[in-house]
């Protein structure tokens, strides 16, 4: 049994989507980051960086923080959504690192300067929008010849998709990146993605589907 500590954010949804895809039993603990629940002593024991998502695996007694590490931990544990072949596995690691180090943080800065604090700094909003557009162009090129980022549907798609679902917040016209838009709709139609999106709370219709 896996305990999932999460909130209705892209990083949280990566893990609920994977758990839904795996079809395993898991228990959800909602950590309301708007109310500061991520700073509670009990939560810090499994997530010392005071961020969601985090998991506790009752089978192994291990806790894991950081969405990329959690995706890898679960994919390796269940031998699903990650290739066993070294070359293809390295590609998955490559694009997972691209997401956790670039696509996520840059879009997150876009949310800060263009959504939550619009107008506070035109310079910062423009800087992160430009970089977001560059990253969408990179992803669009990658998806030019394939249905999923690393050919087969994998934890990389689960890592990127929840961030793309916030395209309105980072002011990206997703339709201007047709390969990304088609991939976004393809992934978004999956039952597990639709279920995982609404964990821990139902948040209304998924944008763009």
Ligand X SMILES: N[C@@H](CCC(=O)N[C@@H](CS)C(=O)NCC(=O)O)C(=O)O
Residues interacting with ligand X, by CB under 6 A?
Answer: 9, 11, 33, 38, 50-53, 66-68, 100
3 state DSSP class of 101: helix
**Closest among 113, 118, 104 to 51, alpha carbons compared:** 104
| Tokens representing residue 32 in the block | 């309301």
Rounded to 5°, angle at Cα 147 from 144 and 148: 105
Nearer to ligand X, 104 or 187 (CB): 104
What's the closest the beta carbon of residue 65 comes to ligand X, in angstroms? 7
CB of 120 to ligand X, least distance (A): 18
Query: Which residue lies nearer to ligand X by CB, 66 or 147?
Result: 66
The nearest distance, CB 164 to ligand X, in angstroms, is 14
Q: Which is nearer to ligand X, 11 or 16 (CB)?
A: 11
Q: Which of 6, 180 has the CB closer to ligand X?
A: 6
Write the CA distances from 117 to 12, 38, 111, 168, integer angstroms: 22, 22, 8, 14
Tokens of 167: 């395209």
């Amino acid at each position: 049994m896996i305990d999932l500590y999460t909130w209705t954010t892209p990083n949280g949804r990566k893990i609920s989507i994977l758990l839904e895809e795996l079809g395993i039993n898991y228990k959800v603990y909602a950590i309301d980051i708007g109310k500061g629940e991520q700073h509670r002593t009990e939560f810090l024991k499994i997530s010392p960086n005071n961020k969601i998502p985090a998991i506790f695996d009752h089978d192994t007694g291990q806790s894991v923080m950081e969405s990329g590490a959690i995706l890898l931990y679960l994919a390796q544990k269940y031998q699903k959504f990650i290739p066993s072949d070294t070359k293809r596995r390295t590609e998955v690691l490559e694009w997972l690192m691209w997401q956790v180090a670039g696509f996520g943080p840059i879009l997150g800065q876009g949310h800060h300067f263009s959504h939550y604090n619009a107008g506070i700094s035109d310079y910062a909003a423009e800087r992160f929008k430009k970089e977001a557009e560059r990253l969408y162009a990179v992803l669009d090129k990658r998806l030019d010849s394939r249905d999923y980022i690393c050919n087969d549907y994998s934890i990389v798609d689960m890592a990127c998709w929840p961030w793309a679902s916030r395209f309105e917040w980072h002011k990206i016209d997703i339709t201007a990146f047709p390969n990304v838009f088609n991939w976004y709709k393809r992934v978004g139609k999956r039952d597990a993605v639709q279920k995982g999106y609404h964990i821990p709370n139902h948040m209304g219709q998924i944008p763009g589907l």
